[in-house]
Structure 1
Amino acid sequence: MQLDMRQIARECRANHGLTKVSLGELRAEIGYAKLGNWVLKYIAEGLQEQELGFFPVGLLDPRVNEKPRQSQSLWIYDAAAEDSLLAQVAEIISGSSNYRDEDVFSIMTGLGSSDSHTLRLIRELVLPKP
């Protein structure tokens, strides 16, 4: 099956690189009738094919989200956008990119977010709950 997330990618990019969608919308986008644990993997693959990132990251991980619901919401961001501060922060916090320490410090202090309280709040948004 062709994983077609082009419409989601267009919506995200038209909305300044960030949009919020439900798992039900994403499920429909790739053509499945029902949402199950195994569909989460296909959704994640479809987003990656369009160079889109998402958070909270655990929502598309069947080990974390054991009972996915169509009403659960996911933030989609344009991971391919050059100089996207949002993409950089999401990738730093989720650990999905290998930024050098100097780059992390520069990006986070540029946000005014070098204090541990702000970083903790960002992690709560981006990372799955244990």
Structure 2
Amino acid sequence: MAEFESIEDLRNHLLEEQIMVVSLQELREALDYKKLGPRVLVEVAQKLSGQGLGYFPRDTIDNNVEPRAWEEVRVYLKDSALGKVVQSVLDPTESGDTYLLELADGDNSAAEMLDAIRKVLGE
């Protein structure tokens, strides 16, 4: 069983964890569905977004015509510092570019920044 019982509970865990690896089965169970299918994934995406949560890889939920319970996504708070980095990478914008450049110009070396981004993206 998941560490959370609902999407709201998942959000509360993320206030401490910042990022969590979550299976589609765990997300399905959080919504009290017995089966997993594309329509359930649409609701998962809506519920996550409604709680201010993002996820990647996005195709695992957004474009998955044959979802499998064991497939995993990384879930994060969009408005956290980590979430802002992920959003800036996944949804490139000029302001996101500026944000990333400001981070790179900070106390962190380029290598540390690259390692942090790789960790977030699960590489």
- Please classify the TM superposition score into its range, dividing by the shorter chain length: 0.7 to 0.9
Say whether residues 1:44 and 2:45 are aligned partners. Answer: yes
CA distance in 2, matches of 1:112, 1:36: 43
Displacement, 1:95? 0.6
CA distance in 1, matches of 2:92, 2:44: 17
Match of 2:7 among 5, 17, 21: 5
Percent identity for Structure 1 against Structure 2: 26
CA RMSD of aligned residues (A): 2.6
Which whole-Å deviations, capped at 9, do the CAs of 1:15-46 have from their partners, x for residues lacking one? 2x111111000011112111101211111111
Instruction: Give the residue type in structure 2 aligned to 1:45.
Output: Q
CA distance in 2, matches of 1:97, 1:43: 26
SS of the residue 1:99 aligns to: helix
- The normalised TM-score by structure 2 is 0.74
* Structure 2: segments with no counterpart, 5+ residues: 1-5
Count of residues paired in the alignment: 111
2:16 aligns with 14
Instruction: Within 5 Å, give how 1:1-130 maps onto structure 2.
Output: 5-15=7-17, 17-62=18-63, 65-81=64-80, 84=81, 86-95=82-91, 99=95, 101-110=97-106, 112-113=109-110, 118=114, 122=118, 125=121
2:3 aligns with none
Displacement, 1:71? 0.7
**Larger % of helix: which?**
2
CA distance in 2, matches of 1:78, 1:14: 10
More divergent stretch after superposition (34-43 vs 90-99): 90-99
